[in-house]
Structure 1
Amino acid sequence: MKALVMRGAGQFGIEEVPMPICGDDEVLVRVKSVAICGSDPVLLAGGSMKDGLPRSLPHIPGHEGAGVIEQIGKNVRGYKVGDAVAVESHLGCGYCENCQAGHYNLCMNFGKVELGHKQYGFTVPGCFAEYCVYRTEVLHKIPDNLTYDHGALTDTVATAFHLIQQAGVKPGGWTTIIGCGPVGMAMLMLCRAMGSKTIVLETGSRLKKAKEFGADYAIDFMDTDALEQVLAVTDHIGADQSFDCAGNRASMNLALHTCRRGGTVGLVAIPAKPEMEIDIKTIVWDEKKLVGSRGNPNCHKQVLEMMSAGYIEAEKMISHHFPLDQFKEALDLFTSRADGVVKVIITI
């Protein structure tokens, strides 16, 4: 089969590789659609090696996928050949304290495949390939009125949804979203669907996209008075919740200071540097809650149902399609942010 194979930092291409073998507790999925995630360029460039990812080389990346089941293991129940499924990347060990509490994205055996943990596309082979094998715990049936592309977008929307689960959204209140890439766009759609008024801070073409996606206010992140503009919109109170979807010092500062007293600051973007200065005094004096969010545990089913019901029009995020053979061109476009790119889908 064809697959994208990473052999080192910045060394990757499409190769012919052996078909994966479906185990007794697994299903074989014929991959149809895979979305490029912001973590994929970092992984392929070798930027995640300091974190032990990928676990070994050569490696097949890809984790925002959807496809159709072509084979099931003898122990599999609840799925059949022909089922259309979306996949999630985190499979916890199932028995550590965090997994048993439902926090399998925080599995205490992360990275230890021999102890049962898998993260598809990172510690085990992913879905930038014609076929991939999965445990059923990470599968979610795609409703009949949705497409494989919807399935591939579920991971992104679910990542935004998990942060909302962590931080909350006040219906009728204000939400500030700093950074309107794919997760920020998903956050915008979700917050609007949940009854919140929205203020997006971005720049360039993505600022225009935020307006198209229905932001109540779209403010240029680069304006020196961006904070004052947000405060003016909210009667100088601030937003009930502010979400940093950019992951840099300036965006973190805006998220913190656009949030009202007693409000919540949600962090979902992974910064390039693990350390940055933060205004602790404001957090303490204004009793602002700072909430981190990783991945999207227990969110895919709800997101698929919201998309199926029409509450979330995730397909609007798709700006480009490429076949697997043109992955390099697709990745270059995605990383350059050219041509109005938001979400790029690889069709296989």
Structure 2
Amino acid sequence: MVALPKEGNPALTVDSEHNVYVTDGKVGTPKKGEVLIHVRACGICGSDVHFWHMGQIGDMMLETPCVMGHEAAGEVIELGEGVTDYKVGDRVAIEPQLPCGKCYLCMQGDYNLCQEVEFSSVWPYDGFMQRYKTHSARFIHKIPDSMTFAQGALVEPVAVAYHGIERSELSIGKGALIIGAGPIGLCTLALAKASGATPLVINDISKERLDFAKKMFPSVITYQSDLKKTNQENAIEIRKLFGPTEYDQPPCVLECTGVEAGIVVGAYVTRRAGTLTVIGVGKGDINNFPFMKLSLAEIDVKFINRYHDAWPPCIRLIADKVIDVDALVTHVFPFEKADDAMRTSADPSNGNIKVMLQDN
């Protein structure tokens, strides 16, 4: 039996004035079809920091204070009316999106593209950087006892990478380039390696992050972008790492930053007739897009929007130790110090990869 909450509900909140602070939120009561979850682990995503600093991502505006956090796992402590597939005490990873379930996109299985989706931590829908949070029972997934809550929270960034690889042309025995050695890039690298793609090259501007990637995956080839060179010149150097012929070049490039330079480099590295998949989230518009390079080479450019049907396979990948995500967590904070955790996540000088809130 899990005791119902008797303590406070610290919640990490940001507002449109670019303030970040911990509030004492209310403990909600689950409605029909919902459960109340004791959030045991919640990771900080770059989008959380972006909302704090910029107040928006694309057209998604932060208008009033909002609780951040969408990478979460926890324990079911109360059931709403009609919930029969779960019981109090179940350990769950949380899928943070609630689509309408009625539109044509939902009906054809592309519920991540639902235009009426309620996504936790995107205003006006509070996220999971709080000790207690209600959520639809349709979008929680049981995790085995062998998985930690931190691993359960990391299912979310793994799901992003998983959806990107699903949409790419990644192939066993063929090379791939991953651009960006942050959490999403490292999750993508882990899945690419597990898939049998080879050789694998990862590119970033940060030597420290590339060193981290090399420590996690000794066989990966790293390339640090030279900021004195053009994007095309860096692309030429990356291509040399794959081999001397056009056939050696990667048919699959996975861009995990959303930064203009990364997209351009990716376009010039991708083999003719290959696929450039943009996983990263960036500005609303980019100024330089190598249209004719992509056109003449018949390179497919694909994008992703979050994920769908990803939690069960990603849970299995982690639980069965096909991929190891533990090293991604570099800093841990309690919920009461979530504001310090956010500041740590925003400061690249401290070597953070994934900052995690935990409530034991």
Q: Are 2:304 and 1:293 equivalent residues in the alignment?
A: yes
Q: Aligned letter for 1:175?
A: A
Partner of 1:88: 95
Residue 80 of structure 1: CA displacement?
A: 0.8
Which one of the candidate residues 43, 49, 67 is aligned to 1:35? Answer: 43
Spell out, residue by residue over 1:12-42, the C-alpha distance to the aligned partner (whole angstroms, 9 max, x if none): 3112222112101100000100000010011
Partner of 1:146: 147
Partner of 2:121: 121
* Change in 2 beyond 3 A, CA 1:53/1:83: farther
**CA distance in 2 between partners of 1:267 and 1:50 (Å):** 16
Q: Are 2:208 and 1:205 equivalent residues in the alignment?
A: yes
Report % sequence identity.
25
Are the aligned partners of 1:90 and 1:104 in contact in 2 as well (CA < 8 Å)? Answer: no
Residue 256 of structure 1: CA displacement?
A: 0.8
**CA distance in 1 between partners of 2:187 and 2:132 (Å):** 28
Are the aligned partners of 1:333 and 1:341 in contact in 2 as well (CA < 8 Å)? Answer: yes
Residue 221 of structure 1: CA displacement?
A: 1.6
Q: Are 2:19 and 1:15 equivalent residues in the alignment?
A: no
In structure 2, the gaps of 5 or more residues are: 1-8
Q: How does 1:69-108 map to 2 (within 5 A)?
A: 69-108=76-115
Q: Are 2:93 and 1:60 equivalent residues in the alignment?
A: no
Partner of 2:271: 260
TM superposition score normalised by structure 2 = 0.90
Q: Aligned letter for 2:84?
A: R
Residue 311 of structure 1: CA displacement?
A: 0.8
With 176-185 and 280-289 compared, the bigger mean Cα shift is at 280-289
Q: Are 2:220 and 1:216 equivalent residues in the alignment?
A: yes
Q: Are 2:241 and 1:233 equivalent residues in the alignment?
A: yes
Aligned residues: 340
Q: Aligned letter for 2:140?
A: L
* Change in 2 beyond 3 A, CA 1:192/1:52: closer
**CA distance in 1 between partners of 2:343 and 2:300 (Å):** 37
**CA distance in 1 between partners of 2:81 and 2:286 (Å):** 48
Spell out, residue by residue over 1:250-295, the C-alpha distance to the aligned partner (whole angstroms, 9 max, x if none): 1111111111011100001111342332111121111110000011
**CA distance in 2 between partners of 1:174 and 1:50 (Å):** 32
Which one of the candidate residues 333, 344, 358 is aligned to 1:347? Answer: 358
Structure 1 runs of 4+ aligned residues shifted over 6 Å read none
Spell out, residue by residue over 1:114-151, the C-alpha distance to the aligned partner (whole angstroms, 9 max, x if none): xxx32112131211111001101221111221100001
**CA distance in 1 between partners of 2:236 and 2:54 (Å):** 39
**CA distance in 2 between partners of 1:193 and 1:139 (Å):** 26
* Change in 2 beyond 3 A, CA 1:180/1:50: closer
Secondary structure of residue in 1 paired with 2:274: strand
TM superposition score normalised by structure 1 = 0.93
Are the aligned partners of 2:345 and 2:352 in contact in 1 as well (CA < 8 Å)? Answer: yes
Q: Aligned letter for 2:69?
A: G
Residue 233 of structure 1: CA displacement?
A: 2.4
Are the aligned partners of 2:330 and 2:354 in contact in 1 as well (CA < 8 Å)? Answer: yes
Partner of 2:6: none
Q: Are 2:201 and 1:193 equivalent residues in the alignment?
A: no
* Change in 2 beyond 3 A, CA 1:172/1:154: same
In structure 1, the gaps of 5 or more residues are: 110-116
Are the aligned partners of 1:70 and 1:81 in contact in 2 as well (CA < 8 Å)? Answer: yes
Partner of 2:10: 2
Are the aligned partners of 2:58 and 2:284 in contact in 1 as well (CA < 8 Å)? Answer: no
* Change in 2 beyond 3 A, CA 1:5/1:233: closer
Are the aligned partners of 2:175 and 2:251 in contact in 1 as well (CA < 8 Å)? Answer: yes
**CA distance in 1 between partners of 2:171 and 2:192 (Å):** 9
Secondary structure of residue in 2 paired with 1:10: coil
Q: Aligned letter for 1:297?
A: H
Are the aligned partners of 1:220 and 1:226 in contact in 2 as well (CA < 8 Å)? Answer: no
Partner of 1:314: 325
Q: Aligned letter for 2:287?
A: M
Secondary structure of residue in 2 paired with 1:144: coil
Partner of 1:158: 159
Partner of 1:113: none
Q: Aligned letter for 1:124?
A: Y
Partner of 2:3: none
Are the aligned partners of 1:318 and 1:345 in contact in 2 as well (CA < 8 Å)? Answer: yes
Are the aligned partners of 2:22 and 2:339 in contact in 1 as well (CA < 8 Å)? Answer: no
* Change in 2 beyond 3 A, CA 1:324/1:186: same
